[in-house]
Structure 1
Amino acid sequence: MPGQVIPGQALAAGPEPKGFRDWMAGCSNTWSCTALSVPGDAVETTAYLRLERPAGPDGAASLVLRLRGEWKKPPMAVQLKLDGAAFPAGGKAMPVTADSDLASVTFQPAEIAAFIEAARKATKLSVAAPGLSAEVSLSGAVAALLWIDEQQGRLNSTSALIRKGSGTSVPPAPAAPVILAKPASGSLSDKDSKALAAALRKQIAQRDPDQCEDGELTTKHDTAWSLDGKRSLVSLTCSLGAYNASNAFWIVENGAVATAKPVSFTRSDESEKNVLVNGEFDPKTGRIDYFARGRGIGDCGAMGGYAWIGTGFALTGFSMMGECRGIGSDDWITLFSSEVRTAK
């Protein structure tokens, strides 16, 4: 039922993004799809295109060009060319909005349509401004957009990006699942929190000494929260690296660590499904957010979140980027989204 409240675990996230030569594409559980060009390696200025389109008859595509470089002053405008031909026609400069080292060029609807049409034959988009030059490969772009058309049921319709036709029927977008997040309602003093975490760590070490690293740097981050009058959530730091920490989460009832149960996270890539990388719990919202960095600058990896719903933790969001090429986390491909509400 559209918009229904999910009582248990949220629906699983969709498949991982699909590669198309120098492009990739992926869709979420609501059929909202994203296509990204993959920047070249070891370039002076990182440049990539991101097209996003919601599902449904009224889903309009958006297209943005991102530029990231080490400039003292970001460009105010850029000149674009498709295989040497000025784009848009007439060669007008495209305005730029900038935030620190990231500059963005937003295409208008008419420019998006013209770009997609030109991309059928063009091989690269060239970007130029005083002191700046970059290129975006269009190899695979048409295949990626055609795949999005197929996922959204637009093939041979008037709203298709690539394979247009006379059809006007497009499936509606599935409603995002509604997750009722329950804030932590109990309370634990800092002393009791540390004591419960220490007792659980000792219990886990007896079960499997290799499951969780035991040292001063890891144990000092251990903590616990009272979810309600009966159950507590315990976080143990099991490994600590330069930019990633692995956190294992457990549910303990009535302080009985011997019967502690590991939390089940549906999208965890770890061998232990109760482990999240850089996972942080906010007791005020009942939510855990995590950001697993593929490398220190955070331009690849996976991120998402879960919410306590009274019986377990339900997935609230998930996005990922498998290529470490300077793509900011805000532009990663979303594979799962939801509407999170706070339970009263």
Structure 2
Amino acid sequence: MKTFRDWIAGCDNTKVCTALSLPNEADDEVAFLRLDRPAGPTGAPTLALKLRSSKLPKQFSVDLALDGAPFPAAGRRLQASSMDGETAELEIAPTEAEALIAAARKATMLTAKIEQRQFKLSLAGSVAAMLWIDEKQGRLNTPTALIRKGTAGTVPPAPTLPVIVSKPASGKPLAKDQAAALVKAMRTELNRREPDSCEEMSEGTDGAFALDDSTRLVVVACSRGAYNVSTQFWLVPGRDVAKARPAEFESNRGGSGNELVNADFDPKSGRVMFYAKGRGIGDCGTSGSYGWNGRRFAVLQISAMDICRLIPGDDWITLFRSEEK
């Protein structure tokens, strides 16, 4: 992920790339542009206008303007709808999206007007973000480039989507007292290995699960902040906590470890899900999931947003994706 003035862009392991305009830091209600493009010769870009505002009508019109000039050129109103009265998405038609991308070379501001409300979307950095995406996808100087187009050249095929086989916890479920005893023993062992590495907490997400007939997953909450709880995950053979080993969670955001933030394990699916908030309202941070494959927890999906600007989690940039079976 990389920031370009008022835009941020990122690509995942299959070179699907996303660019977002960043709302003003002081705004309570926001609008932003989202551009998505798959990799490969046939990967076509899509552009959408996203709104996060209070009391949006179910059906409404949007007037767009580029540096004060109506857009599209004829000044045609675009139609949008909101199911929940707080969020809305307006997909911009391919021809109009192409025109907007071309205009971004010179234009500085896109304005969206809804009844009496007006939203300003900065285009500063948009060209650099799209040029970066062209480079990541191998499109520079080819006919399909967003910015630096050429008349010839081929685009590399998209990388293959990894397939992850997730397995549910298949061992006999532990009784409540058995799970509590295993968690207590694991905490004692952690204190023996490295004193004060895991705090005693009156409330948390502690638990123990039988991943199979011989392996237990022990989950211990180790620290709590205002809006984040950090939890450690350990793989234990039977009840022998002295032989416990960390459940490593691989991440392309800086290595691996057995500690996740705001994490839960679902024994029915074998998934661990986490949501590390950058601040209390949860508009930035990192989220994702891992699947137990019988040996380790493999990455299923990772999304992130480095800048806190009221962008909801559904629009965070995907950095890793897979096909789960």
Q: TM-score, normalised by structure 1?
A: 0.90
1:222–1:236 CA contact under 8 A, matched in 2: yes
Q: Would the alpha carbon gap of residues 108 and 126 (structure 1) be closer, same or farther in structure 2, given more than 3 Å must change?
A: same
Equivalent position SS for 2:32: strand
1:268–1:275 CA contact under 8 A, matched in 2: no
Q: 1:176 aligns with which of 135, 154, 161?
A: 161
Q: 1:325 aligns with which of 275, 287, 309?
A: 309
Equivalent position SS for 1:326: coil
Report matched runs for 1:201-212 at 5 Å: 201-212=187-198
Aligned residue for 1:249? 233
Is 1:159 matched with 2:144?
yes
Is 1:131 matched with 2:110?
no
Query: Which amino acid is the alignment partner of residue 162 of structure 1?
Result: I
1:45–1:133 CA contact under 8 A, matched in 2: no
Report matched runs for 1:200-279 at 5 Å: 200-218=186-204, 221-267=205-251, 273-279=257-263
Distance 1:193 1:28 in 2: 38
Shift of 1:267: 2.0
2:223–2:230 CA contact under 8 A, matched in 1: yes
For structure 1, the residue ranges without an aligned partner over 5 or more in a row are: 1-16
- The number of aligned residues is 323
**Which of structure 1's runs of 4+ aligned residues deviate more than 4 A?**
268-272
1:48–1:65 CA contact under 8 A, matched in 2: yes
Is 1:20 matched with 2:28?
no
Q: 1:140 aligns with which of 121, 125, 129?
A: 125
Query: Which amino acid is the alignment partner of residue 183 of structure 1?
Result: P
Q: TM-score, normalised by structure 2?
A: 0.95
Q: Would the alpha carbon gap of residues 60 and 174 (structure 1) be closer, same or farther in structure 2, given more than 3 Å must change?
A: same
Shift of 1:303: 0.5
Query: Which amino acid is the alignment partner of residue 318 of structure 2?
Result: T
Query: Which amino acid is the alignment partner of residue 100 of structure 2?
Result: F
Is 1:309 matched with 2:296?
no
Aligned residue for 2:185? 199
- Once the two structures are aligned, what percentage of the paired residues are identical? 49
Equivalent position SS for 2:103: helix
Query: Which amino acid is the alignment partner of residue 110 of structure 1?
Result: T
Shift of 1:74: 5.9
Q: Work out which structure has the larger RCO, using CA pairs closer than 8 Å and 6 or more positions apart in sequence.
A: 1
Shift of 1:245: 1.1
Shift of 1:299: 0.6
Q: Would the alpha carbon gap of residues 167 and 340 (structure 1) be closer, same or farther in structure 2, given more than 3 Å must change?
A: same
Shift of 1:72: 5.9
2:56–2:82 CA contact under 8 A, matched in 1: no
For structure 2, the residue ranges without an aligned partner over 5 or more in a row are: none
Using the TM superposition, name which of 80-89 and 42-51 deviates more: 42-51
Distance 1:217 1:209 in 2: 20
Shift of 1:269: 7.0
Shift of 1:198: 1.3
Distance 1:75 1:237 in 2: 45
2:134–2:140 CA contact under 8 A, matched in 1: yes
